[in-house]
Amino acid sequence: RQPLSPCVAGERLCSTEEATAGSGTYTRHGFIFSSLAGCLERKSDDNELPVVSVVRDSESQLLPNVGAVVTCKVCSINSRFAKVHILYVGSTPLKSTFRGTIRREDIRATEKDKVEVYKSFRPSDIVLAKVISLGDAQSNYLLSTAENELGVVVARSEAGVQMVPISWCEMQCPRTHTKEFRKVARVQPQFLQT
């Protein structure tokens, strides 16, 4: 078995004289083409033509599971929750984004009844969160930032400048010195490489 090489849908892989079409492929005009994006796999038995197939990347797709720390981007907020797109599980980028929800009661560990979503997150903030459940029918993951290490890691001010955390609940724009409320993450060194 040869090492897998990536291929895109519609890519011409080889002629039908060199190999037999396997799963994830189709033949046309004497050639074998990939019918999906993935990795090319060639398996050969003794004297027969090798079988060429394409294995979809998502078969090895990493899924956010309960307890995993994920990096996500805030899309929208309202008074009850923040909607996010999950971009990384740990330090591994996801091939497709998953939707997540951070409910108001999961933002902070203390004084949950006093939490205000708009004082914790803003759209386009980058947030570290932990998966607490696989959510509902809309395939939304439920996320929590109720630990000190979790919360906003990157936020831009209204001036478009990356803000600097000045406390666990505030960030400041280095250009305008305006302070904005956030649920700031106390970032652990292992998450700083991204």
Question: Chain-centre distance of CA 151, in angstroms?
Answer: 16
- The answer to whether position 60 is within a domain reads no
For residues 74 and 40, membership in a common domain is answered with no
Q: How many domains does the chain have?
A: 2
| Three-class secondary structure of residue 106 per DSSP | helix
For residues 116 and 93, membership in a common domain is answered with yes
- The answer to whether position 104 is within a domain reads yes
For residues 88 and 114, membership in a common domain is answered with yes
Instruction: Give the CATH number of the domain where residue 40 resides.
Output: 2.40.50.100
- The answer to whether position 125 is within a domain reads yes
Contacts of 137 (CB under 8 A, 6+ apart): none
pLDDT score at 107: 96
> Pick from 156, 159, 157, 98: which is nearest to 129 by CA?
98
Give the strand pairing for 126-133 and 141-144. antiparallel
Q: Which residue type, as a one-letter code, is found at position 37? A: A
Residue with tokens 């001010």: 157
- The answer to whether position 185 is within a domain reads no
Phi then psi dihedrals of residue 14, to 5 deg? -170, 180
- The answer to whether position 118 is within a domain reads yes
Contact yes or no for 96/58 (Cβ under 8 A): yes
> Pick from 13, 8, 44, 7: which is nearest to 28 by CA?
13
- Domain residues for the domain of 40 are 5-55
For residues 84 and 44, membership in a common domain is answered with no
For residues 77 and 41, membership in a common domain is answered with no
For residues 36 and 76, membership in a common domain is answered with no
What's the full length of the chain, in residues?
194
Residues 28-38 have pLDDT tens digits of 999 999 887 77
Contact yes or no for 79/104 (Cβ under 8 A): yes
DSSP lists the bridge partners of residue 85 as 73, 99
Residues 139-194 have pLDDT tens digits of 589 999 999 999 999 999 988 899 999 999 999 999 999 999 999 998 655 545 44
Evaluate if residue 136 carries a pLDDT over 70: no
What's the pLDDT band for 5 if we cut at 50, 70, 90?
Answer: confident
